[in-house]
Structure 1
């Protein structure tokens, strides 16, 4: 019988079931007609694409169990990508199901026909460490994220009373980004801000516009590169994740998730930046001028 117990034991059956469920959840989460999804462009159909890929991965595990390592690894990657490209990973459920299914597929070992069961709860001699690796994968990711956190400052960092407006065509952090909501001391009293900590970041076509009551000044940078202990303090910002899904975040409404994967970038970002600190700041094409001044940055400036 196709779904007999003996047949299921010859392949990562439950891992495949989890991947199929993850793909179905991601694809059904938008619950929008085809005309609406197509009208939204790539951002609207990302859920369908990733969901279909996970379903295919689950079916492939049943048909070709010997490819479990390759399929499991890519299923985990797709599931993590869905957090940024597909309704926060199908509101978290689809992403978690996909990660669990991919890890189970990677850790699965075929049972040889007629092989006696293991003599005890411990692993058999020569057992592959795949199971331990799959279980430890979330811990390894968390441990990798910890170095990105900037050390605590010895004292409060004062900021201006009115945060300037910042725009950039592309914001690309390096490594994991750790986010939290804190109160930042400012000249006008403590202000609730989102704190983004990372190892490094690059901001393309960076523009900062002051609003402190005096003449408005604009600082334009062709490319701003931050390295070391990078910390951004922003009250709110909006942009398009991976250039596909446009979202708005706020310290009072929808803050940034606590951990953001290293490959996530944002385009067309607009933010109110209370403060930025970094060990090293490199600026290509720096220009400071009154806000009404126009004109392209001179070459090599």
Structure 2
């Protein structure tokens, strides 16, 4: 478990996972019955190609985080492209997962120190007695 946490901390894990899930969800909606499909998309092949490339970009983000900026920009563009080619981006779910995952990946910084936890004022208890004039 500790080894997985260390591996996960060294890469934009949640961004890559969301982008991968977005591509998988859009691919799954391509297999929906024709009663559910809103629009088949232009050229058929692009409807399968874009979400497959989203899935590959998500996996590459997880296993090759050094190139995360390129993969995140490509993933965002592919996600937005599925709006036209793949049932409105997998009925918006896959589109949103892909864009959010790409944005999380783009904003991830590898050597940033974790933020210190902020003390919540409503939970803070003063050690000194409060003197009212």
The TM-score, its normalising length taken from structure 2, stands at: 0.73
2:86 corresponding residue in structure 1: 86
Aligned length: 112
Match of 1:59 in 2: 59
Give me the whole-angstrom Cα distance separating, in 2, the residues matched to 1:25 and 1:3: 29
Which residue of structure 2 aligns with residue 75 of structure 1?
Answer: 75
3-state SS, counterpart of residue 4 of structure 1:
helix
25 and 49 in structure 1: CA distance in 2 versus 1, 3 angstrom threshold? same
Residues in 2 aligned to 1:45 and 1:2: alpha-carbon distance in whole angstroms: 42
Structure 2 residue 45 is the aligned partner of structure 1 residue 48: no
1:203-225 Cα distance to aligned partner (Å, 9 max, x none): xxxxxxxxxxxxxxxxxxxxxxx
**Kindly tell me: are residues 2 and 98 of structure 1, through their superposed partners in 2, closer, same or farther at Cα, counting changes over 3 Å?**
farther
The Cα shift of 1:120 comes to 5.9
Measure the CA separation in 2 of the matches of 1:3 and 1:45. 40
Stretches of structure 2 that go unaligned for 5 or more consecutive residues are 34-39, 119-133
Q: Distance in 2 between matches of 1:41 and 1:84?
A: 6
Distance 1:50 1:7 in 2: 28
1:1-301 map, 5 Å: 4-31=4-31, 43-111=43-111, 117-119=114-116
Partners of 2:89 and 2:32 lie apart in 1 by 16
Mark the CA change 1:78 to 1:118 in structure 2 (over 3 Å): closer, same or farther: same
Structure showing greater radius of gyration is 1
Instruction: Name the CA shift for 1:3/1:41 in 2 (closer, same or farther; >3 Å).
Output: farther
TM-score, scaled to structure 1: 0.34
After superposition, give the CA deviation of every residue in 1:211-248 in whole Å (9 maximum; x if it has no partner).
xxxxxxxxxxxxxxxxxxxxxxxxxxxxxxxxxxxxxx
Deviations 1:169-203 (CA, angstroms, capped at 9, x unpaired): xxxxxxxxxxxxxxxxxxxxxxxxxxxxxxxxxxx
Q: Which has the higher strand share?
A: 1
Q: Secondary structure at the match of 1:11?
A: coil
Give structure 1 regions of 4+ aligned residues with deviation exceeding 2 angstroms: 40-47, 117-121
The answer (yes or no) to whether the contact 2:41–2:87 under 8 Å persists in 1 is no
For the residue of structure 1 that corresponds to 2:44, the secondary structure is helix
Q: Secondary structure at the match of 2:30?
A: coil
Identify the structure with the greater helix proportion: 2
Contact 1:25–1:90, Cα closer than 8 Å, also in 2: yes
Does 1 or 2 have the higher relative contact order (CA < 8 Å, sep 6+)? 2
